Amino acid sequence: METTFKNLNQFKKGCQVGQRVKVINHLKGISEERLVTKVQSNALFTGHEITEDVYHESLNDFFRRGNVIKQDNKYFTLSSLPHQRAKHMRFDENKVSYLAYEENGVRQPSLDFNVGDTWLELVFLKGGK
């Protein structure tokens, strides 16, 4: 199933648990494939697969235990991604870009980006749910 989004509303309604997404985080210099693990009206949760040992270690760690799950006999660390306002996002077929913006004199997510620069990209991959 090909996933395409034209606006924030379609993005919120079209994301489904089990979809594969490539996350390109220009702020942290990370690019990795993740799995959509939870969808809410205000945020998207993705998981990075981990080993069973790391999962059990995390369950015993007070600060990490709420950030791991077991789903379909696989283990994941969780990351939440709150939705930005639509005017601070760009939608292009299967790619959603989060743009840097300034509000109340504060640049988000960092001064390292000019207003309108892409700081995060989600590329929804074929073959997901």
DSSP result, 105-121: TEEES-TTS-TT-EEEE
CA angle 61, 64, 66 (to 5 degrees): 115
* Lookup: tokens for 13: 């309604």
pLDDT for 68-82, tens place per residue? 888 889 999 999 999
CA distance 7 to 92: 9
Whether 121 contacts 98, CB under 8 Å: yes
pTM, entire model:
0.85
Confidence class for position 128, pLDDT limits 50, 70, 90: low
Which pLDDT band holds residue 86 (cuts at 50, 70, 90)? Answer: very high
Give the residue from 81, 50, 82 showing the smallest Cα distance to 68.
50
